[in-house]
Structure 1
Amino acid sequence: MKNIKDIKDIFMYRMLIIFVMILGASAVGHILKYMGFSEINIVLVFLLAILLIAWAATGYITGIVASFIATFAFNYFFAEPYYTFSVKNPSYIITIILMTITAFITSTLTSKMKHSALEAREKEAEATSLYSLNTRLTGASDINDMAHISASAVSLSFDCEAQCLCFYKSNKYDKIRERMENLETAFDPGEKFWDWPIYGNEEPLGVIRIPAEKAVLMSEDQKSLLQVMIESIALAMDRWQASQKQMEADAEIV
């Protein structure tokens, strides 16, 4: 979820890319025309510009808009009569139609390839984060070390100042613990922080706390990743807490 300012910034960025690329293609087209090259070479220049636009600006719509603008620009500058949007030569009509179709397909395929590559990088980054978190949790010395590792991993993954509050043998989080025990949703949104509970096998073990201004912008994919991280944290904490209880029970017997 993006705010209005972010949407405007993205829109202006993409429109700037389209303007610069189409302007550059038009300039190159005029040079080629002056040098005596045929219109087909100019068409290829515009198709290259659309390809670069689709690659530089993520999103199918950007490529589609660029393909139509490029077609109108070619018609205006390089199809007789020049500097109008009318077309007298039937061959130009075929050229413009084919250019539009080719540009549309090219921009769509390029955007799809870029989106797939971006998803692959995100999945790889997520897998690396989870592996690093599990490895560090395995080597943690105590519950406080786990809390520090968890907060650090979540902060790094979501670019925020996250906190991890542990309930183990602590009375200062009793109100939060009670709220987590009665929580009926996946997380508890607050004014300053959003709390995600860390549930053990028997009881809440703590919470992952993320600043509200960051949490409200999290996508569903990010929330899913956070939930997987919390499950890993819960498993490690539950295992450590169980071992502590067993050690205490053994000490009492002795």
Structure 2
Amino acid sequence: MMIKRKEILNSQLKLSVIVFAATILGKIFTELGFPETNIVVMYLLAVLLVARFTSGYQYGILSAVVSLICYNYFFTEPYHTLAVNDPGYLITFSIMLITSFLTSALTTKEKLLTKEANERGEESQILYMLSSKLSDAADMEAVLKIAAESISHLLQVNVGCIYVGRQSEPIYIQQSGKEQIHRSVPDADEIRKIYTDLRTEYLEEEEGYGYPVNGREHLLAVVRIDKTVYTKQLQEKKKLLHSIMENVSMAMDRIEVTIERVRDRESMERERERANLLRAISHDLRTPLSGIMGTSEMLMDMTDKEDRRQELLQGIYQDADWLKSLVENILSLTRLQDGKIVIHKEMEAIEEVIGCAIAHVERSFPEREIQVEIPEEFRLVPMDAKLIEQVITNLLDNAVKHTRPREAITVSASYTEDTLLVSVRDEGEGIDEADVPNLFKIFYTSKTRSADVKRGIGLGLTICETVVNAHGGTITGRNRTDRKGAEFIFTLPLPEGGREIV
């Protein structure tokens, strides 16, 4: 308000001084015997100067009226009155007034256009320098420092910038004068909650005005502008302020993408190293395991069935077989992930594949009975029989581990118009609800299973999902709805017009 009043008084003073100077010069011209047209031109010049050195159209118009009154009062008969003896002066006054109005309007408009052009040029220079600095910024802290300095310089107040994105720890940089201060972030989660999807341009807080800086997918930062800033100044600099924040947003997005790529690259490198280690260990374990299985099997044949050592030898054989199966799973998974196993699809009968898988499981668990439900119709399905057999074997092995000998395990197959569905159901303990979303994650094992269940390392189901997806199918796991137990279902696509034999 004080600045506005001071500006008005300054403009009024300029108007008075310029019109007064024009009147004095007019008196001098009269004494020197100059024609009245020179005095008229002098007042037109005064109007032009007032319009040039004051703000707004009103002062130019006011100077035109005051100049006309002064000319009539001091330079037309009768002098020192506003009366007019010669009607011709009325035409002179009209032309003088119209000319003054037009001159004032054109001068004021030209001044405003020049001011706008200068402001646009200054804004372009500010944005160019800002973009140049932001392109060189290597981390989020550097971006915050540049943003705080630029906005503080623009508005001439203290400015704080808080990073609350997802790729690094929250950072708070405050520009106080020429000094930059690191401050602790009060509560990043609360800031995200308040400013995410904010429906207003800014949020008025105790410390100042908070402007959200949004990225492509989420809130990146918040700019806090001190309350000492004038509201008019904020409105005048609104477009430039938003342009600065857009540039800051793009720089932050760029750094977040870079951080994410580096982390992904590091994760891929760790995964590659882990796969290489697993592959090396698995290769080294296969030979001694085969020897242990062969020796234990030979000793079982050489030992009487009633001998108490028979049970011990059988346990050795089963554990070695379990370890060998685990090693094969690891090797299969690493080959699949590396793309070294190529899917060779041929037209196969799912009944034969299920039979081979059951035979494999029954060799390791001869005491278990597995029920089979096969449809009457016979179809040939495009698949890699060896890999699909491994999928069914892993699912059956998983079911055996989670059921007692008296609890039933069932394998069933059925067809729709374009899909083969294979399910493995059991009547065991079921799947804990917390484990359902993580069933097919690599190395994931349940932490809620009963103590008597033999633990794996979380590879079997991952291999199943990889193989089925490679065939263009899907696999899901869930608890049964008809009774207690778990159910795993995978699908394989059938060819269009697939062959059917009844």
TM-score bucket (shorter structure): over 0.9
Paired position in structure 2 for 1:28: 25
- Report if the CA contact (8 A) 2:138-2:255 is conserved: no
1:239 has 2:254 as partner = yes
Paired position in structure 2 for 1:104: 101
**2-side partners of 1:45 and 1:86: how far apart?**
22
Aligned length: 251
Post-superposition shift, 1:219?
A: 5.0
Secondary structure of 1:202's match? coil
Determine what percentage of the aligned residue pairs are the same residue.
31
Q: Deviations over 1:136-177 (max 9, x none)?
A: 000012111110011111122222222222124126442322
Q: In 2 relative to 1, CA 9–73 (structure 1 residues): closer, same or farther, beyond 3 Å? A: same
Greater length-normalized contact order (CA 8 Å, ≥ 6 residues apart)? 1
Paired position in structure 2 for 1:201: 216
Alignment TM-score, normalising by the size of structure 1: 0.94
Post-superposition shift, 1:213?
A: 2.8
Q: Give the 5 Å matches for 1:1-254.
A: 3=1, 5-168=2-165, 169-170=169-170, 172-174=186-188, 175-214=190-229, 216-254=231-269
Q: In 2 relative to 1, CA 10–215 (structure 1 residues): closer, same or farther, beyond 3 Å? A: closer
- Report if the CA contact (8 A) 1:167-1:173 is conserved: no
Secondary structure of 1:130's match? helix
**2-side partners of 1:122 and 1:189: how far apart?**
28
Post-superposition shift, 1:187?
A: 1.0
Secondary structure of 2:228's match? helix
**2-side partners of 1:22 and 1:128: how far apart?**
39
Q: In 2 relative to 1, CA 236–7 (structure 1 residues): closer, same or farther, beyond 3 Å? A: same
**1-side partners of 2:31 and 2:39: how far apart?**
11
Letter in 2 for 1:130: L
Gaps of at least 5 residues in structure 1 are none
Post-superposition shift, 1:229?
A: 1.3
Post-superposition shift, 1:220?
A: 3.7
- Report if the CA contact (8 A) 2:164-2:220 is conserved: yes
Post-superposition shift, 1:98?
A: 1.1
Q: Deviations over 1:7-37 (max 9, x none)?
A: 2212111110110000000000000000001
- Report if the CA contact (8 A) 2:43-2:67 is conserved: yes
More helix by share: 1
- Report if the CA contact (8 A) 1:133-1:149 is conserved: yes
**2-side partners of 1:94 and 1:130: how far apart?**
54
Q: In 2 relative to 1, CA 18–149 (structure 1 residues): closer, same or farther, beyond 3 Å? A: same
Post-superposition shift, 1:91?
A: 2.3
Letter in 2 for 1:223: K
More strand by share: 2
**1-side partners of 2:220 and 2:80: how far apart?**
71
**1-side partners of 2:186 and 2:258: how far apart?**
23
Alpha-carbon RMSD across the aligned residues, in angstroms, is 1.5
Q: In 2 relative to 1, CA 173–144 (structure 1 residues): closer, same or farther, beyond 3 Å? A: farther
Post-superposition shift, 1:215?
A: 5.1
Segments of 4+ moved more than 4 angstroms: none
Alignment TM-score, normalising by the size of structure 2: 0.48
Post-superposition shift, 1:249?
A: 2.2
